[in-house]
Amino acid sequence: MTRPAPSPVRVGISHCLLGAPVRHDGGHKLDAELTDALGSRVEWVPLCPEVEANFGVPRDAMHLADDAAAPRLLTVPSRRDMTDRMRRYTVQRLRDLRTLNLSGCVFKSRSPSCGIRDVPVFTRDSNLLGHGRGLFAEAFQQAFPLMPVEDEERLRDRSTRDHFLERVFGYHRRQCREEQASPPPSPD
C-alpha cells in the first residue's frame, strides 16, 4: 500500500511582498530576503484583500480612521468609506481560505487591510488617533486564532523567522494528524 503524498505546507502572504504590482499606486513591496529564505520551504498562497475586493489598481490610498477600537477604512483624500465592502469580501475570502489548509500567514506590516499590529488610525481631520490592526488581518486572526501569523518586518530578524517556521511546520503536522484521524466523507 502506498502512502498518500504529503500535503504541501501552504503559507498565505500579502501579494505585494511577492513583487506583484497590487499596491494602490501600481507598485509592489517585494521582499526578496523573505521570499528567498522561506520560498523553497513553503508553497505561497498570495492574498491581496484590496485587489480581490475589486478596489482596482491604481486606486486611492486608504487608511483607518474614526475609532481606534472599531476603525473605518477610508480612501485618502476623498474619504470614501470602504469598510462594508471590505467586510463583505472578507467573510467570503475567509470561507475560501478554510479549504486551502494554510499553515501560516505573512502580512504586509502597517497596511490598513493587512497589518497585524501598529497600523495607524487617524481622526477625521487626519491626526493620529492610535494604532490597531488592518481589517482583513484582524478578521483572519479571529477566524484562525491558532495559526502562526507574522509580518515581513518582524521576519527580517533571523531568530523570529526561524521561530515562525517552527510554528508553521508544527501547525502543519497537527493539521496532517487531524486529517488522518478524521473518517473519510461518506458517499452520497
What pLDDT score was predicted for residue 186? 60
pLDDT at 134: 97
Tell me, what's the pLDDT at 181?
76
Per the structure block, which three cell numbers stand in for 57?
489598481
Q: Indicate the pTM of the whole model.
A: 0.90
Q: Is the pLDDT of residue 3 over 60?
A: no
At 124 the pLDDT is: 78
Residues 6-34: what's their mean pLDDT? 94
Measure the CA–CA gap between 3 and 53, rounded to whole angstroms. 39
Q: What's the grid cell of residue 140?
A: 483572519
Segment 45-87, tens digit of pLDDT: 999 999 999 999 999 999 999 988 899 999 998 899 999 999 9
Q: Are the C-beta atoms of 147 and 171 separated by less than 8 Å?
A: yes
Q: Each residue of 76-126: pLDDT tens digit?
A: 988 999 999 999 999 999 999 999 999 999 999 999 999 999 999 999 778
Contact 121, 130 (CB under 8 A): yes
Q: Give CA–CA dist 188/176, Å, rounded.
A: 25
Give every CB contact of residue 92 below 8 A, 6+ residues apart in sequence.
none
Report the run of H or E that residue 162 belongs to, with start and end: helix 158-181
What secondary structure does DSSP assign to 35-93, as a single string? HHHHTTTSEEEEE-HHHHTT--SS--EEEEES-SSS-EEEEETT--B-HHHHHHHHHHH
Please say if the pLDDT value at position 161 is more than 60: yes
Q: Are 91 and 142 in contact (CB under 8 A)?
A: no
- Please tell me the predicted confidence (pLDDT) of residue 85: 96
pLDDT of residue 187: 60
pLDDT at 1 over 60: no
Average pLDDT over residues 149-167: 96
